Amino acid sequence: MQPCTEPYLRSLLACDIEVRRPRKGCFWNSSVRGDTQLLKGDLKSLKGPYWVANMVQTVMFSQAMESSIWHGGPWDVAIEVGPHPALKGPAEQTIKAVFGSAPAYTGVLRRSESDVEAISGALGFHWSHLGPSFVDFDGYLSTFYGPATRPPPRMLKDLPSYCWDHDKIYWRESRVSKQFRTGTDHYHELLGRRMLNDAEHELRWRNVLKCSELSWVRGHEVLGQILLPGAAYVSLALEAGKQLAAGRTIRLLEVQEVDIRRPVLIPDNKEGIETMFIARLMDSNNDTVLKAKFSFFSCSDSSTGSMVHTCNGRVLVHFGSSSVDGLPRREPVPPSLLNVDVDRVYSVFSGIGLNYQGIFRGLSNVQRSLDYATSIATWSQSDLDNDYVIHPALLDVVFQSLFVARSHPSTEQVTNTLLPVKIQRVLVNPKVSVVEAEGTVMVNLDSYVVDRTPTSLLGDMHVYNTLSGDAVVQIEGLLLKAIAEPTESQDRQIFSETVWQADASLNLIMPERDFTNDGVEMDLAAAIDRAALYYMQRLLEEFDPPERASLAWYHQRMCEAFENHLESVKKGAG
């Protein structure tokens, strides 16, 4: 097929295909790519190059089927649109390999059968499996008959009798099967999907994190490796808290005592890394607040490895009427702040191994003073997925602002790679939006350094709506620690030296006398004193008391000092 590619591409481009934006709620799992990333990328390839690849490349059928399961499943019925359900076998085999069982499968047409009968049979198949509300028989009949020629419905008297007793249950369904079949939980790209073997007091979510599906995570590179941001654990806890609320009105979301035990590396391969998030309810009978302990586990090798405890903490969901003033509003910005070049800030980050790119490079309008920094963070709304209470990239940029509060980039005081290890408390008001006009996400950031050492940094941060000043997020007790002990090459060079000499304050050192020039120096000093007295007296004579009263206060004090000195000279004390 290779010789046909160029003429085929020219023919497609000559057609001037108009690519429309896809409808929401429908996932296109491409068998050319094996995933859904085409919809998130540049759709211009559908004008021609995509179809050339479709002609010459290997069909990634099983990968596309697996992708459709994770992005659209589970399903009750699978429909193959084509002349015959020829892919039923491979499709069911792939689905069973992933889920263990396959849904009911049918096609709209069948080989060697009447098309009308085949489509009618497909509609009846759906009616029997999904119920009458899923099939529009009136719309189906209207495609064959006009309004005037449509025959009235009539009862068929020659149908076989059906003696089944629907009042008696003849089958048994397990709890896991029913939860899988009737579950309403949706897949979240970071949290994953609810596991079937959890319980009401202990909820579990499983996921497989892949760089190909979390494209934004590539922008968080630490020492050359893609690292799950520490802020992601806060985002995970917030998403779990939102699901624990089960539709109740949330006043505030709170995350406490976050302890990050070890970093999670996300490999840039097709296997990814398996994760599990567990939330254990502590007090489910309280109507005002719901408390839960959470733990996060990861496994880099799902075939032979075991789950490793990565992070733990607590999440609290406060119920009640929501309000934009649920958290304290922003205080006035201190005066006399120093502007900081953003490019220089990120240059310092790169120098210590924190290579931020993409949506992790959001700081702008940075200003600072001692142990304080304020800035603005801006993104396009399309860059931050709306399926988050607070996106991890937004929180990570908030963490970055603490480095600026610690020191100015020009001082080069930050020489160690610092990563989050503990967070005492995070408060989020979901009522306050971070989205400004024209689809822009913009927030004000205030950061305060509480404590610092050469290998650690402790601080608080606040996030505000740029227009209203309402608080969106408050972070208390963020602790950053160096991932390694400092080396000798990182020592700061001090431009001084130690000299051992006699202490001048003990009068052990007498200055050398120059008897030849001493008289000249004394005469010169006396002349200088007399000249100074002359100009003091002349200044006082030129200003009358009324004129002196109109001078600035410090000039008045100067004149008073001159008068006192002249008076002391007259008395012989000067």
88: burial class by Cβ within 10 Å (0-12, 13-18, 19+)?
middle
In sequence order, what DSSP letters do the residues of 258-269 get, joined into one string? EEE-S--B--SS
Among 72, 105, 112, 108, smallest CA distance to 89 is for: 105
322: phi then psi, degrees, rounded to nearest 5: -80, 150
**2 by DSSP, 3-state: which?**
helix
Q: How distant, in Å, are the alpha carbons of 10, 341, 448, 490 from that of 415?
A: 55, 18, 20, 7
Q: How distant, in Å, are the alpha carbons of 28, 159, 194, 207, 446 from that of 297?
A: 31, 58, 15, 10, 32
C-beta separation of 372 from 448 below 8 A: yes
**Distance between CA atoms of residues 272 and 134, nearest Å:** 38
What does the H/E/C string look like for 311-326?
Answer: EEEEEEEEECCCCCCC
DSSP assignment, residue 192? B
Among 239, 240, 218, smallest CA distance to 228 is for: 218
Residue 437: count other Cβ atoms within 10 Å of its Cβ.
7
Residue 111, C-beta contacts closer than 8 angstroms, at least 6 positions apart: 83, 84
**Distance between CA atoms of residues 218 and 398, nearest Å:** 18
Residues with catalytic function: 220, 396
The number of residues making up the chain comes to 574
Sheet strand arrangement including 354-356 = 225-226, 220-222, 354-356
Cis peptide before 74 (omega within 30 of 0): yes
DSSP assignment, residue 4? G
**Distance between CA atoms of residues 26 and 162, nearest Å:** 38
**Distance between CA atoms of residues 485 and 242, nearest Å:** 39
Residue 544, both tokens:
């009358």
φ/ψ bin of 192: left (φ > 0), alpha (ψ from -120 to 50), beta (otherwise) = left
What does the H/E/C string look like for 423-461?
Answer: EEEEEECCCCCCECHHHEEEEEEEEEEEEEECCEEEEEE
Residue 172, C-beta contacts closer than 8 angstroms, at least 6 positions apart: none
